Structure 1
Amino acid sequence: MTDTPKVDLNRRDVMKGGAAALALAGAALPAGAGLAADGQTVTGVVFEDRSRAGHRQQGDPGVAGVLVSNGREVAKTDAEGRYTLPIEEGMTVFVVKPTGYSVPLDANNLPRFFYIHQPKGTPAELKLRFRGIDPTGPLPASVDFALRKSEEPSSFDVILFTDTQPESDAEVSFIRDDVVNGLIGTKAAFGLTMGDVMFDDLSLYQRYNRIIAQIGLPWYSIGGNHDLNYEAPDRSHSRETFRRVFGPAYYAFEYGGAVFLMLDNVDYLGTDPSKPHGAGKYEGRLDDRQLAFIANLLKEVPADKLVVVGMHIPLRTYLDLKDPSVFTVNREALFKLLSDRPNTVSFSGHTHTTEHHYFGAADGFTGKEPHHHHVMTAVSGSWWSGPFDHRGVAVADSRDGSPNGFHILSVAGNRYTTRFQPANEPNARQMRIVLDSEFHRGQKEIYRDFRLGQLLGSPIAQDNVYATEVVVNFFDGGPRSKVEYRIGDRPAVVMVPDVRPDPFVEEVFARNQATKKPWVNAEPCSHIFVARLPADLEPGTHRLQVRAVDEYGREHNDNLVVEITGADGRSRS
């Protein structure tokens, strides 16, 4: 979820992180190099788990050339599969799963590819509400990581979630009924959640994970601003519960030749006493250590590979260009590390809107083609707001009018596309068509005279045709999308983008105040397209066809029956 905290910009330099992180980032370490500040190192073996025991057995060989990281430095295993890295208390050591291998999964299909080094556990003096990390004790003599050979095609699908964000046990059930049931049996390779797995109540993680596990896929996650331990004074201990359950706050892995770089750009600034339940301030920022990790990792990744970057807070959003809690303030530091790569894409959530952005030289991304950043639709839509449907699930239309849902990333070599999957739309419908003709349509007091949707449909009096706009919400549309409509045999009419609230969701929210979360309002939508009806449209019944072309050049079509009445109130055909 995004909220609007009061942020003290003087507390942090918003551009901090770029140069300092690059200074930290040296070449990837050979298997036996590097010392931590206190001189301690961690060593171990990445091995092929032929026995599938999860720990090394006789006959399990080491795997050479595998990357291992402590979240800052990156080492590559030697011919025997051995690595050495600097280690400090609080670090998480993890293997970067290579293509052609899988890692062990726990009972909930969560990948186990890491070791947390926290000898004393989470500091007791923090008095965290939710359980943190238990003491891990002395550093083992060898921290080993198991890999299992696995077939990985170069063309595959990934399920992309963001902001599942249940506020209660009842809303965990909504996730189960609205999206999980329909995904069981999917042929996707794995799933990713881009943060706000929970809505502050981290005790719900276990039930949530048991439900997501039923999809039957390995499932990776990163944390959002509602997955924090708010009692922590700053970023350093703000992910204790998340790390205990899911693993490192940021990490990377490969699948099918593509690199997935999962980042934590929620920079927690500590508790804000003015907020409910002790929630704190935060900004969108990648810290120095994380930027160093990215730089060190990418030095080991061939330039032509597809790099998929996931984060919670968008790099940029249409909602507010000045509020550092809704965008990444030092995105240029990330762009500097990605600009020499021809095949990159990034995904985020947080705003509960659907947006596409393209960054070029003016934004600090100097690659040949702009960098595509996709702000994804929230699984929870409007935070599970709205009336219940026939299943007893909140309708949850997003505040930009898109239905709640998720996305599917399709990778083919170093190319990609995405598609939007509405949670409860027949035939995965990709747009909504309405007719905006009533001058006082937005006035709540007139709703009593009309049923839901009647104000945004037909019949329309012929005298009002000239004033009527066709409004299309192309749910996953963006700046490269094209939309047009056609009535019967008439020429196609090009529709123009217009950033405005979706009139449908304005009405839904206005009519359902009792079931709407109090902070939810209809917000300007970046994928609304409008055009007037033809002024000479005669009384009768007409078929209006909409053709939309999405960000990837794919065509989508939908239809609306339009009735025009004459002076006598009747249509003539």
Structure 2
Amino acid sequence: MSRDSIPASGRLTRRETVAGAAALGLVAGRAGAQESGEATGIVYAVQAAGTERAPLPGVLVSNGREVARTDGQGRYRLPLAGDGVVFVIKPPGYALPRDSDNVPRHSYIHQPGGTPASLGLRYKGLAPTGPLPASIDFTLTRVHEPADFDVILFTDPQPESRFELDHVRDTAVARAMAIPAAFGLTTGDVLFDDLSLYGRSNRIVGRIGLPWYSLPGNHDLNMQAPDARHSRETWKRVFGAPSYAFRHGRVLFVMLDNVEWLGPPVPVGANTYRGHIGERTLAFLKNLLAEIPPDDLIVLATHIPLVTDTGDDPRSATIDRAALLDVLAGRTVLSLAGHTHTTEHHYPAEGHHHHVMTAVSGSWWSGPDTRTGIPSADSRDGTPNGFHVLSIRGTAYTTRFVPAQGEPDAMMRIAFESELRPAAPEIVRASHPMQGLRPPIPQDALASTNLVVNVFDGGPRTSLTFRIGDRAPEPMVRTRRLDPFVTELYARYPGTKKSWVQATLSTHIWTARLPDDLATGAHRVTVEGTDEYGRPIRSCAVLEVTGDGTRG
């Protein structure tokens, strides 16, 4: 594809995307370029309704370590010896080209020999790119870009089969289509090992109609690769550079691949990877931040969390996060991650908010089918499967949770838990599941019954109280514990879940003991408080109390 063949719309067809050298790198002349060990090119701009290009000065371009800024003629120069990558960092007010599935094209992958056939990879890698082009050019389109915007945040859709990809389509994607946003992004585990599904997955997500940026996870690896060097061959062919960045409004979005492949599993099925950013990528981030205004917001995305409540296993947390936090010191940072299929909020440094997000697949598409035939997929910490929406207002931000199934504005679940049996608490249910979650409670059992509330996107800055009827509000205590609802759900329907799915300790549960002096009859239970951002949250339930020593 010649550099003059980019449509004025900034869209590339699927054929152009596959045939073009990394879709955005536009080649003009080859003589002598390979020997120089240097990548050079021009960044151009076109108006949204026009075709005439003009060089664009002041744009950042990177090779994954060094960062260059285009000069007055739109030209940049970067070291590039051997295999490598060059990507443009979209500036505010401009749009990247997209393919027919709305995948942004931001990089040129340079791999003269392509993916070595000797690796025996199961999924197709890169075709040979040949010698380094004399000019790797990028063309951006001038657009109106408000400083206030929303972003749809997916993580871990993780379909293991075409059937599970149907679930992604019919839950999260269908719900996201109705949410106005500037773009979307997925922080890894786009698929569950079967990389042949990328084409269909991109077609489905592309119908949301937004530019959609993606980051690879541990289930997006070429697992036959002997080491990290060739572990992203299929990803690079489909999406381009695994780590990259772009700007939108007054926000710098940095997408960092922090899954380091350690080699093929021995025995088969072992997880031979770790959360590791690495010196080269840290240098890229440091060089990039030197070019960004100090009061801009930084939104950093990784697949493996920097820190997580599930422990410090290198497969669940990032081993060089201290070095990352040093690079980010003094900045206002929201870092996003997935991987653990839990929902968590952490504050690892001053000005740094780390949000581990709800998985689209929840409990890896486990659980009883609903009337739609889709698994309930409640996550192991009790959160419904779903996604988040990031709202940016200048340099301020908030996030909100969106369930992928059920009521779209569900924020919490209220349950009652009996401790009548020592060391064996159980959720208070009717004898038949169709009778509901909250049957009447005998008056003499009130003293051994807890109110248990799961605030699906709660964290250490969330606070709750409860009140019964017109009584005064009473505080609830954030308690790290199992969610009783999902614990019983897994026990009740063991044949519907995958073997590794077990309830895990949740970081967003609040508890309180019910008062023991409630009269028989029906009582209104009101749970209210504020979330991580100080916004009011509220939900209600009806508590029935009986006097006959039975639970209805």
- The TM-score, its normalising length taken from structure 2, stands at 0.91
Alpha carbons 1:186, 1:215 under 8 Å: kept: no
What residue in structure 2 maps to residue 330 of structure 1?
320
1:21-36 equivalence runs, <5 A:
none
Q: Taking structure 1 as reference, are residues 287 and 569 closer, same or farther at Cα in structure 2, changes over 3 Å only?
A: closer
Q: Secondary structure at the match of 1:270?
A: coil
1:160-239 equivalence runs, <5 A:
160-239=153-232
Structure 1 residues without counterparts, runs of 5 or longer: 1-35, 361-368
Q: Taking structure 1 as reference, are residues 260 and 445 closer, same or farther at Cα in structure 2, changes over 3 Å only?
A: closer
State how far apart, in whole Å, the 2-side matches of 1:94 and 1:187 are.
Answer: 28
Segment of structure 1 superposing worse, 164-173 or 451-460 = 451-460
Partner letter of residue 98 of structure 1?
A: P
1:151-550 equivalence runs, <5 A:
151-276=144-269, 280-321=271-312, 323-341=313-331, 343-360=332-349, 369-437=350-418, 439-440=420-421, 450-452=431-433, 457-550=438-531
Q: Secondary structure at the match of 1:417?
A: strand
How many residue pairs get aligned? The number is 520
Q: Taking structure 1 as reference, are residues 466 and 211 closer, same or farther at Cα in structure 2, changes over 3 Å only?
A: same
Alpha carbons 2:415, 2:485 under 8 Å: kept: yes
Alpha carbons 2:417, 2:425 under 8 Å: kept: no
Alpha-carbon offset, residue 548 of structure 1: 2.8
Q: Taking structure 1 as reference, are residues 384 and 237 closer, same or farther at Cα in structure 2, changes over 3 Å only?
A: same
**Percent of aligned positions with the same letter in both sequences?**
54
Q: Taking structure 1 as reference, are residues 116 and 352 closer, same or farther at Cα in structure 2, changes over 3 Å only?
A: same
Alpha-carbon offset, residue 197 of structure 1: 0.5
Q: Taking structure 1 as reference, are residues 272 and 60 closer, same or farther at Cα in structure 2, changes over 3 Å only?
A: same
Alpha-carbon offset, residue 536 of structure 1: 0.6
Partner letter of residue 541 of structure 2?
A: L
Cα displacement string for residues 464-504 of structure 1 (whole angstroms, at most 9, x for unaligned residues): 00111000000000001001111111010100011111000
Structure 2 residues without counterparts, runs of 5 or longer: 1-32
Alpha carbons 1:284, 1:313 under 8 Å: kept: yes
Partner letter of residue 282 of structure 2?
A: L
Alpha carbons 2:215, 2:257 under 8 Å: kept: yes
Q: Secondary structure at the match of 1:465?
A: helix
2:55 to 39, 62, 71: 62
Alpha carbons 1:348, 1:374 under 8 Å: kept: yes
Alpha-carbon offset, residue 39 of structure 1: 4.6
Alpha carbons 1:158, 1:188 under 8 Å: kept: yes
Alpha-carbon offset, residue 456 of structure 1: 5.2
Alpha carbons 1:270, 1:280 under 8 Å: kept: no
1:43 to 40, 62, 74: 40
Partner letter of residue 122 of structure 1?
A: T
Alpha carbons 2:60, 2:89 under 8 Å: kept: yes
Q: Taking structure 1 as reference, are residues 294 and 519 closer, same or farther at Cα in structure 2, changes over 3 Å only?
A: same
State how far apart, in whole Å, the 2-side matches of 1:408 and 1:567 are.
Answer: 48
Alpha-carbon offset, residue 123 of structure 1: 1.1
Cα displacement string for residues 308-330 of structure 1 (whole angstroms, at most 9, x for unaligned residues): 00000001111123x11100011
Cα displacement string for residues 522-543 of structure 1 (whole angstroms, at most 9, x for unaligned residues): 0000001000111111111001
Partner letter of residue 47 of structure 1?
A: Y
Alpha-carbon offset, residue 451 of structure 1: 2.7
Alpha carbons 1:354, 1:400 under 8 Å: kept: yes
- The TM-score, its normalising length taken from structure 1, stands at 0.87
CA RMSD of aligned residues (A): 2.2
Q: Taking structure 1 as reference, are residues 441 and 547 closer, same or farther at Cα in structure 2, changes over 3 Å only?
A: farther
Partner letter of residue 105 of structure 1?
A: R
State how far apart, in whole Å, the 1-side matches of 2:104 and 2:533 are.
Answer: 32
Alpha carbons 2:153, 2:389 under 8 Å: kept: yes
